[in-house]
Chain A
Amino acid sequence: MVAAVGALAKTSVAKLKGQEAAPATQAPSAEALRAELAKAGKPVLLVSSKTLGQTGFLMVSDAKRDVLTWSTPDGATFSQRNGVLIQTRGLGADLMSAEVPSVGQLLQAGVPYQRVYYFLGADDQGTRRTYDCATSIVGTENIDVLGRNHSATHVTETCTRSVSGGKITNEFWVEGSMIRQSRQFVSSGIGFVDFARVID
């Protein structure tokens, strides 16, 4: 499965270049990939979007208090507060800012709270979308992150918008107090993006 991630990345890039997909056998093993990524001695976040068919390993470009900003080499960024996505830049349909739950809040199943997303809407006007959210604990799961096994609490966050009835479901796998893996909403243009903390 892990090898498939690397292969996906290669495949999608090759496709976009209009070439034949590289044979999957060329993809490095998860262990080799992890060893390569660990060399820098810095945290690494695996970001992938099924809708976009894109996968990449990102490094931290800015760290301030509880916010880490991860960036791609060509200038797109994802900012997370303790692992919860609060901003993106350079994606086109960006999440400009957000009021988000803490990890502690995510683990308190059934306790309602509000989540607010801020976008640039029609004609670049600031647009606010407020959701009423609550989480539920699915259970403890063993997840594989690039060849490494992690035991994490699977949390589902369900958010509904009273105005339109719009619904967003984010998924988190919390290991201790850290979000190891997640699937979070970015914007209606980008949809959901998967994150996995590969190297701490």
Chain B
Amino acid sequence: MQTSSRLLAALALGTALVSVPALAEISGTLNLNGATGLIDMPSGDAQKDATFSFSTSLIGPITRSTLSFQFSERLSGSFRFQTWRDWDAVISGDSEESDRSIDLRYQVLKEGKITPALTIGLQDLTGQGLYASEYVAATKTFGEKVKVTAGLGWGRLGTDGGIGAPFGSRPPVDPPGTPNSDQWFRGEAAPFAGVEYKVNDNWTLKAEYSSDAYVLEGEERGLLDRDSPFNFGVEYQRNPYMRFGAYSLYGSEFALALHIILDPKSRATGGIVGKAPAPVEARPSRSADPEAYDGGWVTQADAGPILRQNLAKRLAADGIAVEDLAYTATTVQVRIRNGRIDAGSQAIGRTARALSHVMPASVEVFEIVPVVNGIGASKITIRRSDLEALEYTADNASLLRERVTVTDAGPAPAWSLGDEELYPKFSWSLRPVVRLSEPIEGDIGLRLSSTYDIAPGWVLSGSIYKEIASNRELSTSDSDLPLVRTDSSRYNTFGDPALEKLTLAWFARPAENLYSRLSVGYLERMHAGVSGELLWKPVDSQLALGAELNYTRQRDTDGGLGFDEYNYDILTGYVSAYYDFGNGYLGQLDVGRYLAGDVGATMSVDRVFANGWRVGAYATVTDASAEDFGEGGFDKGIRVTIPVNWALGTETRRGLDLNFRPDGGDGGARVFVDDRLYQSIREYHTDGLDPDWGRVWR
């Protein structure tokens, strides 16, 4: 007879899924390249801001798997892994060829009443050039059902029906892997065009005229016949998350596409799950019960342990541990470790509510210090009377934020009461793991991890990995640089099972606004040694500065403890600047010496979402020559974190991390170290707390 809120929430999800119209239709749709477009051609449209998509398409003997992200309203990027089968049909050699490519697209004009949407795109801008092309495409919507696209393509998109080379001839790619900026918009240009007809919310018909002659696949390799420039297709949007397409291509081939479309801004589960918080406990008014406000209780010897116990009991329900409790008659400082709630603000709100139940009425000031890796990340000071007054007030989130201060955590008060159950403490886990090196290449296995919290800030941790299945092959590196990364397939093959990590880490707060980390041991599966880091980050600063110094030796490939195979050691180090541009855009610049001894800089940009989604790209340029760098010319990659709570709705802080480094070579490589400082503390600084501060009342 009682309402089940979980069922309510589950049903709300069901109705939400049904009632939401196919949002992707309002924006552009995806093409066989996983980019916004028609069938094989691009269009002038963009996806809805922050759309993250994974597309797989089959075009006769060609497979394309693409990750795309609408990085801002106008800018989007893709990372593609393309495979050609029957590669040896005409020319003998490998039966399969694969290539990775990166695209960037910028929507110069948004569609207006008269003006079309206009997009400039660079396809495969850093690869071997197998797929390199540039285009300008314009798309105009007529009524609610018809979209017409016309564009001009260069490179591959200028190979059929060319109208001449307006910007001169196209030089060859040299060296492969560098941005092919010399080629951009050079050579023969050719027009392409197409029409989309939206039958209803689910079905769309498409037709296009392609300017791609498929010279490589047709004339050169004999993989397919291009009999006609016309392509036709039908697409079905099953729900906002899934879209299918079937096409007739070039008068000879049949193609299929599947797109999985995710919106990092909205949880797949419709809302934040988890039980309602306990109400704020109201104190009696001072005039009605002046004795309740008497501070005499502080002198009672057993007050501390009892208060700490009561608080810990209440917070345990939210997965929050009480590291330390210190109080006077009027102020309490509690240091908490948030183990489960994905929003820092919510963990703070829950702690404040619990304090209102536990602390005697004379305590007016609540100081909450979130602790990460044993060190205080910040101090949030809330007045108890504000909490009481605003609980049911309209716009209570903004009103409370105006009254709350966020400052440096400072040291724990000397008289604080720690919890003997937290240190030392051993914990372990055994979890299935997916390790992808490409969208469809990698291995799955089991990881046994354990952590021993020795004392606040001192952590001994390790992990062992055992592979279960893999589709990676053993390859031999032909890199001229020290083989600091390109032997990874040897580590995969020979080190099974492998001791991935075994480290002792020490985290500390040397001074106000300063954070430090020292890690010693087997830092990662290829390198072991010492890594030290110092970070300067005031709690309300958009800018942070850091320095890192590592001395490492390369480990044996068998996943054991030895260092005999490579006899390689190196001192690496970086100075870093971090900047929060607002709206979730983070930039980082690292300058220093990399693992292979090369000197250079890494630039990275990430878009982070309050719910834990993170999509970023990075590029490293060093003094290693493009040839030495390995296949890639320079190091670049894409990293994605998808939080489990977003996908499944369970209250957890875990996430799925993916890191794609196309043609990852030995140049620009860094040692992997756990718990780099900036990421771990930022959540509790103002730039991490404020975007979803509203959850303080959740």
Residues of A within 8 A of B (CB): 6, 9-10, 13, 16, 47, 49, 51-58, 61-62, 64, 67, 69, 71-77, 79, 81, 86-87, 89-94, 96-100, 116, 118, 120, 122-126, 128, 189-191
Contacts of B391 in A (CB 8 A): 64
CB <8 Å contact, B5 and A122: no
B678 within 8 A of A: no
Contact A120/B698 with A49-B8, A53-B11, A126-B398 known, Cβ cut-off 8 Å: yes
Contacts of B264 in A (CB 8 A): 123
Question: Which partner residue on chain A sits nearest B388 by CB separation?
Answer: A64
B610 within 8 A of A: yes
Contact A120/B694 with A52-B8, A77-B276 known, Cβ cut-off 8 Å: yes
A62 to B694 Cα, complex, angstroms: 21
CB <8 Å contact, A124 and B343: yes
Point out which of B1, B3, B11, B698 has the most chain A C-beta atoms below 10 A from its C-beta: B3
Task: Give B27-45 as 1s and 0s: 1 = Cβ < 8 Å from A's Cβ atoms.
Answer: 0000000000000000000
CB <8 Å contact, A64 and B392: yes
Interface size on B, residues (CB 8 A): 48
Give the interface segment out of B59-67, B123-131, B266-274: B266-274
Point out which of B9, B264, B265, B611 has the most chain A C-beta atoms below 10 A from its C-beta: B9
The 4 closest A-B pairs by CB, nearest first: A56-B3, A92-B271, A75-B275, A76-B5
CB <8 Å contact, A54 and B8: yes
CB <8 Å contact, B15 and A93: no
A55 to B4 Cα, complex, angstroms: 9
Contacts of B7 in A (CB 8 A): 13, 16, 52, 54
List 22 A-B pairs, Cβ < 8 Å: A13-B7, A52-B11, A53-B11, A61-B279, A72-B4, A74-B275, A75-B5, A77-B276, A89-B277, A90-B9, A91-B5, A92-B273, A93-B270, A94-B698, A97-B392, A97-B393, A118-B395, A118-B694, A120-B694, A123-B692, A124-B272, A128-B395
Contacts of B3 in A (CB 8 A): 47, 54-56, 58, 72, 76
CB <8 Å contact, A96 and B697: yes
Q: How far is the CB of B375 from chain A (nearest CB, A)?
A: 26
Contacts of A49 in B (CB 8 A): 8
A71 to B282 Cα, complex, angstroms: 18
Residues of B within 8 A of A (CB): 1-9, 11-13, 15-16, 264-266, 269-277, 279, 282, 343, 391-398, 584, 609-611, 691-695, 697-698
Q: How far is the CB of B613 from chain A (nearest CB, A)?
A: 8
Contacts of B276 in A (CB 8 A): 71, 75-77, 89-90
CB <8 Å contact, A56 and B1: yes
Contacts of A118 in B (CB 8 A): 394-395, 397, 694
Q: How far is the CB of B273 from chain A (nearest CB, A)?
A: 6
Contacts of A57 in B (CB 8 A): 1-2
Contact A124/B692 with A74-B275, A92-B271, A94-B271 known, Cβ cut-off 8 Å: yes
Partner of A81 from the list B266, B269, B392 (CB cut-off 8 Å) is: B392
Q: How far is the CB of A147 from chain B (nearest CB, A)?
A: 15
CB <8 Å contact, B2 and A94: no
Question: Which partner residue on chain B sits nearest A119 by CB separation?
Answer: B694
A75 to B395 Cα, complex, angstroms: 23
Contacts of B13 in A (CB 8 A): 92
A89 to B278 Cα, complex, angstroms: 10
Question: Which partner residue on chain A sits nearest B10 by CB separation?
Answer: A16
Q: How far is the CB of B155 from chain A (nearest CB, A)?
A: 37
A52-B12, A123-B266, A123-B609 known; 18 new pairs, CB 8 Å cut-off, are A9-B1, A51-B15, A52-B11, A55-B3, A56-B3, A62-B279, A64-B279, A89-B277, A92-B12, A92-B269, A92-B271, A92-B272, A99-B395, A116-B394, A118-B394, A118-B395, A124-B343, A124-B695
Question: Which partner residue on chain A sits nearest B6 by CB separation?
Answer: A74
Q: How far is the CB of A156 from chain B (nearest CB, A)?
A: 22
Point out which of B265, B279, B282, B398 has the most chain A C-beta atoms below 10 A from its C-beta: B279
Contact A91/B12 with A120-B698, A124-B692, A124-B695 known, Cβ cut-off 8 Å: yes
Q: How far is the CB of A82 from chain B (nearest CB, A)?
A: 12
Point out which of B12, B264, B277 has the most chain A C-beta atoms below 10 A from its C-beta: B12
Partner of B695 from the list A13, A71, A120 (CB cut-off 8 Å) is: A120
CB <8 Å contact, A90 and B609: no
CB <8 Å contact, B271 and A91: yes
Contact A97/B394 with A54-B8, A64-B282, A120-B698 known, Cβ cut-off 8 Å: yes
CB <8 Å contact, B611 and A123: yes
Question: Which partner residue on chain A sits nearest B11 by CB separation?
Answer: A52
Question: Which partner residue on chain B sits nearest A48 by CB separation?
Answer: B3
A108 to B518 Cα, complex, angstroms: 68
CB <8 Å contact, A125 and B392: no
Partner of B8 from the list A58, A76, A86, A124 (CB cut-off 8 Å) is: A76
Partner of A96 from the list B274, B584, B698 (CB cut-off 8 Å) is: B698
Contacts of A122 in B (CB 8 A): 265-266
A91 to B4 Cα, complex, angstroms: 10
Question: Which partner residue on chain A sits nearest B3 by CB separation?
Answer: A56
Q: How far is the CB of B496 from chain A (nearest CB, A)?
A: 40
Q: How far is the CB of B27 from chain A (nearest CB, A)?
A: 15
Question: Which partner residue on chain A sits nearest B317 by CB separation?
Answer: A75
Q: How far is the CB of B646 from chain A (nearest CB, A)?
A: 10
A73 to B12 Cα, complex, angstroms: 19
A61 to B280 Cα, complex, angstroms: 11
A75 to B273 Cα, complex, angstroms: 11
Question: Which partner residue on chain A sits nearest B649 by CB separation?
Answer: A92
Question: Which partner residue on chain A sits nearest B392 by CB separation?
Answer: A67
Point out which of A16, A54, A73 has the most chain B C-beta atoms below 10 A from its C-beta: A54
